[in-house]
Structure 1
Amino acid sequence: MTNQSMGKVLVIGSNATRIEVRGNKWGATGQYLNETVVPAMALEAAGYEVVLATPNGNKPTIDPASDAAAHFDNDEAAYKAARDYYDNGPAMNAPRTLRSVIDEGLDHYVGVFFPGGQAPVVDLMQDGEVGEILRHFHEAEKPTALLCHGPIALAAATDDPRAFRAALIAGDEAKAREWAQDWTYKGYRMTIFSATEEKVVEDHILHAKMYFDMPQALTAAGGVVETSAVDFEPHVVVDRELITGQNPRSDHPIAKALVAALEARQTA
């Protein structure tokens, strides 16, 4: 980085490598490569310093389903550049723990970004430290961006995120709503990976059914969830400080929206 950094942006990754599916089974999971590196690279290109943090301080596992040029419009050069950035880039190879970032002080960060892949459904959505981080950025009105499955991490800002998630897995949506009565993002417009998009993953990658779909979960929490009419079309929703993208193909649009929000806040 140059000495003229525009500020630090926190990128919060997941440490999950498997996810519960119906039938008391588990499926392999991880973080999507393009959803992680496209926004991170855009932030660095705009002059921001990227700081990666995860619950346990280990680097996230990339979901093999995302490790292909197909997620970069079949551009082999773009895919290789992304892979090199993730494998060798300084920002991707000095992960912090969430706790260390909190203890050092969240005032050091101008924005926060959560990539997707299904992994956040496992750990980030029920992590109390994620909730602590989200509430800081909400109260400070600092840009908060989440992509694909990433917006499920917003559930960490419910009253009891572990209980909220357990209720969803048990199929008790009424109980889930009770645990989210004072949710930080109640009434916010947002998007997330749609139920019909999830079915493609269930059918072709997991070969199993999830316990709940993402719009169902955020709606139960109190969000106003908007998904595109056409699956896998880029779709970004901005409401106040919150910036959400629906699917992997929303990687470049959400990066653009996040950089614009950061610049707007700095010039306000």
Structure 2
Amino acid sequence: MYTFKKAVLAALALIVAGTPVISRAQSQSKGKVLVVMSSANELALKDGKQYKTGYYLNEFEVPYKKLVEAGYTPVIANPKGDTPVMDANSNNKMFFGGDDNARAEALKYVQGVQQLKHPKTLASVVSEGTDGYVGLFIPGGHAPMVDLIQDKNLGKILTSFHNANRTTGIICHGPVVLLSTLSDSEAFQKAMIAGDGSASSLAKNWPYAGYHVTIFSTGEEEALEGPNGLGGYVQFYPVNALAEAGAHVDTFTNWHPNVVVDRELITGQQPMSAEEFGNTLIAKLDGGSR
């Protein structure tokens, strides 16, 4: 009884002070959003070279933080259930409007996300089913081009979201993972690397055929390639891969924000699109929850 009385008095004190009291109903989550990360930290380039990669800081932090602030509950998963690696090159103020304090705050925020240390596995998500999630978010960086592009569990997850018309947001290199829904995504990737023109024949019945999407542009990729950037050249361009599979790829001027929405799918072009992408993701989730 004494504890209850104290709680009531504390609530009254908050009201007098002008601080709103949040009810249990108001504090409940709007729903779980699955956040799929890569387990890869190295991208194979042409001529046997490698690029140390991972997720991009602002492409993860900006939308993730918006999800939390909007009242959603993010649930992180990746292929191995291991800690995702951040691409060191993304820890740069240029991706935060030149504001180094904003970069530092973003890094601090991400370091405080405990889920990143122990994600669920994609296999466990498939086993449990995806009906409990209202949306899906996948950040970029080159890492998804290594494992997520051909991950069969992710293919099942994406297909379930597609069939249920549930919000799916993917940014930068991330949209290349839509290819995981192909019947033989590994063969498709090998065909793209070989450049033998056989890739399109492996894309029959692709769920996203005809969708308008955006992704890290060929011009942006070319700007990063070479000795002063990636240290080499990518084995294929993401734009070409999605186009070969049957998507309409709409890229904008290099390094300018670009977000494309088609049905349940939201795609963002590159790190500069993170803010607009995050806002669009929240707006679509909020619209879908009504």
Q: Same fold (TM over 0.5)?
A: yes
- 1:231 paired to 2:241: no
- 1:71 paired to 2:95: yes
Tell me, in whole angstroms, the C-alpha distance in 2 between the residues paired with 1:198 and 1:75.
24
What secondary structure, in the 3-state scheme, does the structure 1 residue paired with 2:140 have? coil
Q: Is the 8 A contact 1:87 1:93 kept in 2?
A: no
Q: Is the 8 A contact 1:50 1:91 kept in 2?
A: no
Q: Is the 8 A contact 2:82 2:117 kept in 1?
A: no
Which of the residues 132, 149, 171 maps onto 2:173?
149
Tell me, in whole angstroms, the C-alpha distance in 2 between the residues paired with 1:39 and 1:65.
19
- 1:199 paired to 2:214: no
Tell me, in whole angstroms, the C-alpha distance in 1 between the residues paired with 2:248 and 2:163.
20
Tell me, in whole angstroms, the C-alpha distance in 1 between the residues paired with 2:30 and 2:211.
28
Please state how far the C-alpha of 1:3 moved relative to its aligned partner: 4.3
Tell me, in whole angstroms, the C-alpha distance in 1 between the residues paired with 2:196 and 2:151.
20
Please state how far the C-alpha of 1:92 moved relative to its aligned partner: 3.0
Structure 1 length normalisation: TM-score?
0.95
Q: Is the 8 A contact 2:84 2:116 kept in 1?
A: no
What secondary structure, in the 3-state scheme, does the structure 2 residue paired with 1:211 have? coil
Point out where structure 1 has 5 or more consecutive residues left out of the alignment: none
Tell me, in whole angstroms, the C-alpha distance in 2 between the residues paired with 1:158 and 1:105.
20
- 1:266 paired to 2:276: no
Q: Is the 8 A contact 2:138 2:170 kept in 1?
A: yes
Q: Is the 8 A contact 1:236 1:246 kept in 2?
A: yes
The match for 2:20 is none
What secondary structure, in the 3-state scheme, does the structure 1 residue paired with 2:81 have? coil
Please state how far the C-alpha of 1:161 moved relative to its aligned partner: 0.6
What secondary structure, in the 3-state scheme, does the structure 2 residue paired with 1:205 have? coil
The match for 1:108 is 132
AA of the residue aligned to 1:189? H
- 1:245 paired to 2:245: no
AA of the residue aligned to 1:106? T
CA deviations 1:155-184 (Å, max 9, x no partner) are 1011211111011111123x2111111101
The match for 1:161 is 185
- 1:185 paired to 2:208: yes
Tell me, in whole angstroms, the C-alpha distance in 1 between the residues paired with 2:240 and 2:66.
31
Tell me, in whole angstroms, the C-alpha distance in 2 between the residues paired with 1:151 and 1:172.
23
AA of the residue aligned to 1:87? Q
The match for 1:33 is 57
Point out where structure 2 has 5 or more consecutive residues left out of the alignment: 1-25
Q: Is the 8 A contact 1:85 1:92 kept in 2?
A: no
Which of the residues 92, 107, 119 maps onto 1:95?
119
The match for 1:171 is 195
Which of the residues 215, 234, 246 maps onto 1:210?
234
Q: Is the 8 A contact 2:36 2:137 kept in 1?
A: yes
Task: Provide the alpha-carbon RMSD of the alignment.
Answer: 1.4
Please state how far the C-alpha of 1:107 moved relative to its aligned partner: 0.6
Tell me, in whole angstroms, the C-alpha distance in 2 between the residues paired with 1:80 and 1:50.
22
Tell me, in whole angstroms, the C-alpha distance in 2 between the residues paired with 1:129 and 1:10.
13
Structure 2 length normalisation: TM-score?
0.88
Task: Count matched residues.
Answer: 265
Which protein has the larger Cα radius of gyration, Structure 1 or Structure 2?
2
AA of the residue aligned to 1:58? D
Moved over 6 A (4+): none
Percent identity reads 43
